[in-house]
Structure 1
Amino acid sequence: MVKKRTSYYKDLSADYSRPGLVSDQMKAKLLEDAAKYIALKEDTLPAIDASYTAEQIEKENKDWWPTHCEALRQGRGDLLTGEYRSDLVYFCQDGPYYGLDEQKEREQHWWALIAQPNVTMCWPIVMFWSEFVHFEWYCVDDETNEALAKGTVSWVRRGHRGACYYKSEQLTFYRDVFASPELLKLITT
């Protein structure tokens, strides 16, 4: 018997599995929420204990997830960078990167390519467990339905108080590898 599939977004505030599912009002709210969550980040990574449980962290990660998706779709590099801890460890095929400066140049090209006009980034799969967030994404050209890029990512995010301190990503870009200067100008820094 085939296991019945359910939406990964059924208990989340917005569905980013496909284009066109999020209202303009919700988009604005999610960007406001993103800034609020970033402001809660503490200087020291909080412990997972009785006062900050794995269940609370998982709930916060589920609340945060749609804000991350909207920030990427809108090219909000300021919010995306704010999601990281200053001591971020980032493993990917161009890395590894340590801290917030090493990956900045490369990552802004990725953000510019996946947030460019007439392209929609989608996350059909997202799973949560404690401080772990695993997701798969792809970008599609809105006019040609061409796949531009895809990836599989794991974040270790200690809720709003801790933010992301470890990220592992496999990215595949089909159409471009570096963004044009015009696209780079569209990313909010």
Structure 2
Amino acid sequence: MQTPTKRPRRVAFYLRVSTGEQTTENQRRELEAVAERAGWTLAGVYEDAGISGAKGRDKRPAFNRLLQDASRRQFDIVAAWSVDRLSRSLQHLVSFLEEVHHLGIDLYLHRQGVDTTTPAGRAMFQMLGVFSEFERAMIRERVRAGLGRARANGARLGRPKVGAGIEAAIRADLDAGRGILATAKKHGVGTSVVQRVKAVMGS
């Protein structure tokens, strides 16, 4: 009985440069050499030229297409020259890694030597949640520290209150039967302001 021939694994390259003066040629050449050594078949090349890695998926058309094709299982591995080609944000990067991992797609990062087709590389995925939570905690801490400094310097936080004249005009419109949305639009304030004035009137 003849043993079935194993299908070569299909790899997708993601290439990105931040400015129009840069080129992705070196990234592509090095990844092609890796794929040839590993026996991978090139399934597609996704290239965002002149686009920052800090931008989200909706601002990077090739990256968006990569994720769409990943969900269709059009390749088995995503290869990038470096982790910062995929994203400049840890949170966005972790989200991407979790998505491809959930789809059963491996990741190869050339400069960092990350290869999840190996047991050591697969262990990296176990740390994703830790990194994500760490960044969220750091963001919360920075926000709290910033608010604390603002209060210490006498800054008034939250939306500024409207003047007495505008409040009186809002009350008059509400008394005349004008609706909350129409009143807010007329005076250029949020509906929450009109609702607050109305609540005071009814108390």
Shared fold (TM-score greater than 0.5)?
no
Larger radius of gyration: 2
Give the helix-richer structure, 1 or 2. 2
- Structure with larger RCO (C-alpha < 8 A, sep 6+): 1
TM-score (norm 1): 0.28
TM-score (norm 2): 0.27
Give the strand-richer structure, 1 or 2. 1
